[in-house]
Chain A
Amino acid sequence: MSKRTERGKYGQINMAKVRALLRKDGQEKRSAFKTGNFDIVGFILKVAIACTIVALFVVFFGRFTGVYLAVKTDGVTNVTARTTELLTILYSAVILGMVIGGIGRIGRELFTADDMKLYAAMPLNAKTLFVAKLINIYLSQLIIAFVAVTTINLTFATQTRADVAFYLLTPVVCILLPLITIAISAVLVMPFQMIKRFLRERYIVTFILVTAIFGALFWVYSIVLNGVKQLLLGDSIRWFFSERVMTAIRSVCGALYPARWFAEIIGGEDRVFGWLYLALLIAACTAISLLVIKSILVRALQSRNEGYSRSVIKTKSLKKIDGKFGALLKKEFLMIFRTPSYMFSYLSVAVIMPLMVYFCMDVSVSLIENLIGVNCNLELALFLTILFGTLTNVFCATNISRDGQMFYTIKALPLNYKTVFFSKIVFCMIVTAVSQIASAVLLAATGSVSFLNGVFLAVIGMLFSFVNIAVATRYDFNHASFSTEDDGEIKESSGTVSVVIIIGMVMSFAIGGMVFILKAFSQLNHTGLGYMTYLITAGLAITSVALSVFYLLFRLDDRYYEFTGGGGI
């Protein structure tokens, strides 16, 4: 074979290898559903959450669409214009979500996926690898587009008389949308990776930034929640759309390209020019995707084989003694604080938790008062505190697994099993105490609950948090699953997390629901059973703490010695 032919053989896209790569990805995805690997509880939970979100969206968006399409500007209704505006805003949100998801997906596929390190040393040229990766990324975006756009359009269609083209064009939008979002994501992925690299060892900056972004998102969520409340309470939302507001919405929607073109095509406002602009944009985007992803693929292949950068961190001298317990506490903190995903899912969530409770309290108090005419502030606060406390402490379901193979090293150190377990629990309790106290202070300061009720709330919140943490830690110990990654970081939630979420949610709904119903019953019937809230929650909290301590310590000494879990040693 001549050298030229050989070069041609290795320089071109090899469709057989593309198919082999896609087959491998498919097999890996399917293996996740096989017995032993399949997290049935987590799967059911995810499906249930997704269905709930879609159902809530369909109900509230359907109702909102009816209100919005009836809004008059200059004294007349204009359904076509409102349709375009509404769809423009929603498609923009979908595009934004898909771009954010796309940045993450491209980053994962090209920079962090396990297979890239192997591929770099295999006879796979960049073009072949690129096509296989691009198909994977496109398919994942297609699924998101299909779920989001179909839900929006079908809900919309129930509120208005949509023409045949509306239905026919819906799948076309689903197919075309990822072409644009992938291009935008591809352009943004390198700056994002650079920012990630810059922030990698700037932990405090990352913490502040991530917490601020998360807080801002929750603030936006509270605005949406307020809108939902107004929808439920009556007509007040209709008066929100004044001439001034509508002018602002029109001007914003006028600039929201490319979502506006999709909306114009679907809504039938301007199909000819919409198609033309969209065709040009898609052609440009496809070219950008091909060029950009190909160029970053080569860099990604090289970067996977580079070591970490050297970074100098000034540590305190060796003269500071922390003691065994202190050393383990410090270790827990460093492991979490210096792993961005852990920092976000625990520390940032714990900092934001008081805001979550406050926003939800703000919305639900007036909603309950208007709908059933009772004041159940303390009961609502208890329910929200336990619920959000549970969601924050779900992180503790990886308390053992996070240590990875180092858990065996810890076992071989001269440490008592109680010191090992309680250092983890105390660390989580410190985080949760800050969160619970801040939450109670915020509710008391804003007048949602009295000072004494605030104290009660903080104490009960901490007791139930202890229950969450203790149960999650022991459950994780019994079902530990260590990461196989080099850095030992847990990147996917296990069945343990799903089980702990369910236990926590059942607990919060059962306790919160019980005291809420009792208080509502007491107020509606003037039976004077208000004190039952204190009695029931305090009684249940103390009992739960006792049971959780028993569960945590039951044969722990023997099990700690016998431990060979986590996926082997």
Chain B
Amino acid sequence: MTDNQSEAQERREVVRIRGLNKRYNKKSDWAVTDVSFTCYEGEIVGLLGHNGAGKSTTLKCLEGMIPYEQGEINIAGYDIKKNPEEAKAQMGFVTDNHATFIKMTGMQYINFMADVYEVPTDVRVKRLGELEEVFQLGDAIENLISSYSHGMRQKICMMGSLIHHPKLWILDEPMTGLDPRTMRAVQEFMHSYAAEGNTIIFSSHALGTVAKLCDRVVLIRKGRQVDELNVKKIYEENPEFDFEEYFLKNEQKN
């Protein structure tokens, strides 16, 4: 057990993944093998790995989007298999393909998500105002999502995923397609959201973003969890630590 883990044990567990194994069909190789990690409240955890490493698969299993063969996933005390509705109510997520109902307007989509997560009317109005300050969709929120650019779809997906102020916020490649201003705003928002005691898990290729944002990083290679790093501690001990170099070296190991 690392120092960080024992330190974090005092805080409440929000995500607990144990021995996760997933393959897409019986004949194929395992997409994820024996992945286990825990995320605590107030933490930002990054999933790092090459293309096809198993980051998105792990997140999709966590979100309850796809089934998994072995293991256990627990979100804020609820098992995703045994109590799926309760577990899913604790989280908000943004997928890598930004799939959304493009025949709805942005506002209708927010309303849809608020209805699904049973957000009271006064709360949804207040939260939308707060989210608008971060994502700044402006009048475009009244437009059909089909007319949105890639970045705008990303923003509306993020806004929809946060309307119920989830305990756990899951993002798959969140910075792709965002303009620099929004990227900065999202990063600041992620820090403040975690500071409120919420947990954020995200996958990324952007090592700089991961280094800047994460408290911890779970490194996945070829479906296997190969390392777990305490980013904060590493930077405290060595401010010159080259994350990119470390990642590339790790990739070369078989």
> Which A residues are closer than 8 A to B by beta carbons?
201, 307-315, 317-324, 326-328, 330-331, 334-335, 338-339, 404-406, 408-409, 411-416, 487-488, 561-564, 568-569
Do B93 and A412 touch across chains, with their CB atoms under 8 A apart? yes
Known: A318-B107, A318-B124, A569-B66. A414 touches B147 (CB 8 A): no
- Tell me, rounded to whole Å, the shortest Cβ–Cβ distance linking B34 to chain A: 21
Name the distance in Å between A248's Cβ and chain B's nearest Cβ: 47
Q: B125 touching A319 by the CB < 8 A rule?
A: yes
A409/B99 contact (C-beta < 8 A), A318-B124, A564-B66, A569-B60 known: yes
* B21 interface residue (CB < 8 Å to A): no
Question: Are A335 and B101 CB-contacts (below 8 A) given A315-B108, A561-B84?
Answer: yes
Whether the pair B146, A487 counts as a contact (CB closer than 8 A) is: yes
Across the interface, which residues of B come within 8 angstroms of A564, CB to CB?
Answer: 24, 66-67
Residue of A nearest to B110 (CB): A318
Q: Report the count of interface residues on B (CB-CB < 8 A).
A: 46
A331 near B111 (CB under 8 angstroms)?
Answer: no
CB distance from A491 to the nearest CB of B (A): 15
Complex CA gap A201/B105 in Å reads 12
B104 touches A331 (CB 8 A): yes
* Given A321-B121, A327-B115, A334-B104: A309 in contact with B147 (beta carbons within 8 A): yes
**Which one of B64, B99, B110, B143 contacts A311 once the chains associate, using CB atoms below 8 Å?**
B143
**What's the minimum C-beta distance from B36 to chain A, rounded to whole angstroms?**
21
User: Is B173 part of the binding interface, using a Cβ–Cβ cutoff of 8 Å?
Assistant: no
Q: List the A residue with the shortest CB-CB distance to B125.
A: A318
User: In the complex, what distance in Å separates the CA atom of A356 from the CA atom of B100?
Assistant: 37
The one of A309, A321, A408, A488 that contacts B65, using a Cβ cutoff of 8 Å: A408
A-contacting residues of B (Cβ < 8 Å)?
A: 24, 60, 63-67, 81, 84-86, 88-89, 93, 95, 97, 99-105, 107-108, 110-112, 114-118, 120-121, 124-125, 128, 139-140, 142-144, 146-147, 149
Question: Using Cβ atoms and an 8 Å threshold, which residues of chain B touch A324?
Answer: 115-116, 118
Residues of B within 8 A of A569 (CB): 60, 65-66
* Residues B95 and A409 in contact, CB atoms below 8 Å apart: yes
**A412–B64 touching, CB < 8 Å:** yes
Q: In the assembly, what is the distance between CA of A315 and CA of B114, in Å? A: 15
Contacts of A312 in B (CB 8 A): 139, 142-143
Question: Given the complex of chains A and B, what is the CA–CA distance between A414 and B139 in angstroms?
Answer: 29
- Asked if residues B88 and A315 are in contact (CB atoms below 8 Å), the reply is no
Complex-state Cα separation, A163 to B192, whole angstroms = 89
Q: Which residues of A contact B24 (CB under 8 A)?
A: 564, 568
Asked whether A327 lies within 8 Å of B67 as measured between CB atoms, the reply is no
Chain B residue contacts of A413, Cβ below 8 A: 88, 116-117
Shortest 9 CB-CB contacts between residues of A and residues of B: A327-B115, A338-B103, A414-B88, A414-B89, A405-B99, A412-B63, A308-B147, A315-B107, A414-B85
Known: A408-B66, A414-B88. 14 other contacts (CB 8 A): A311-B144, A315-B111, A321-B120, A331-B104, A339-B103, A405-B97, A409-B99, A411-B64, A412-B93, A413-B117, A414-B116, A416-B85, A563-B67, A568-B24
Closest to B88 in A: A414
A311 touches B63 (CB 8 A): no
Question: Is B101 in contact with A406, judged by CB distance below 8 angstroms?
Answer: yes
Residue in A320, A321, A335 with the greatest tally of chain B CB atoms within 10 Å: A321
Once the chains bind, are B88 and A314 in contact (CB under 8 Å)?
A: no
Complex Cα gap A314–B60 (Å):
35
| Distance in angstroms between the alpha carbons of A327 and B116 in the assembled complex | 7
Question: CB within 8 A of A415: which of B66, B105, B116?
Answer: B116
Least Cβ–Cβ distance between A469 and chain B, in angstroms: 21
Chain A residues lying within 8 Å of B124, measured Cβ to Cβ, are 318
9 A–B pairs (Cβ distance < 8 Å), ordered by A: A311-B147, A318-B110, A326-B115, A327-B115, A408-B65, A412-B63, A412-B65, A414-B117, A416-B85
**Are B110 and A308 in contact, with the CB atoms below 8 A?**
no
Contact B115 A315 (CB under 8 A): no
Known contacts: A311-B147, A321-B121. The answer to whether A411 contacts B65 by CB under 8 A is yes
The closest CB in chain B to the CB of A488 belongs to B102
Q: Is the CB of B142 within 8 A of A404?
A: no
- Complex interface: chain B residues within 8 A of A328 (CB): 116
Contacts of A414 in B (CB 8 A): 84-86, 88-89, 116-117
Contact of B111 among A309, A320, A335, A488 (CB under 8 A): A320
Complex CA–CA separation, A318 to B105 (angstroms): 12
Choose one: B88, B107, B121, B144; the contact of A201 (CB below 8 Å): B144
Query: Is the Cβ of B116 less than 8 Å from the Cβ of A319?
Result: no
Assembled-state Cα–Cα distance A330/B143 (Å): 17
Tell me the smallest distance from the CB of A313 to a CB of chain B, in Å.
Answer: 5
Q: How far is the CB of A311 from chain B (nearest CB, A)?
A: 6
With A406-B101, A414-B117, A569-B66 already in contact, the answer to whether A310 and B88 are too (CB < 8 A) is: no
In Å, the complex CA distance between A318 and B65 comes to 28
The complex places the Cα of A413 from the Cα of B144 at a distance, in Å, of 22
| Whole-angstrom CA separation of A354 from B120 in the bound complex | 42
Q: Contact check: which of B66, B84, B86, B103 meets A334 at CB < 8 Å?
A: B103
Query: Which of A308, A319, A326 is the one whose CB lies under 8 Å from B121?
Result: A319
Report the nearest B residue to A322, measured CB to CB: B115
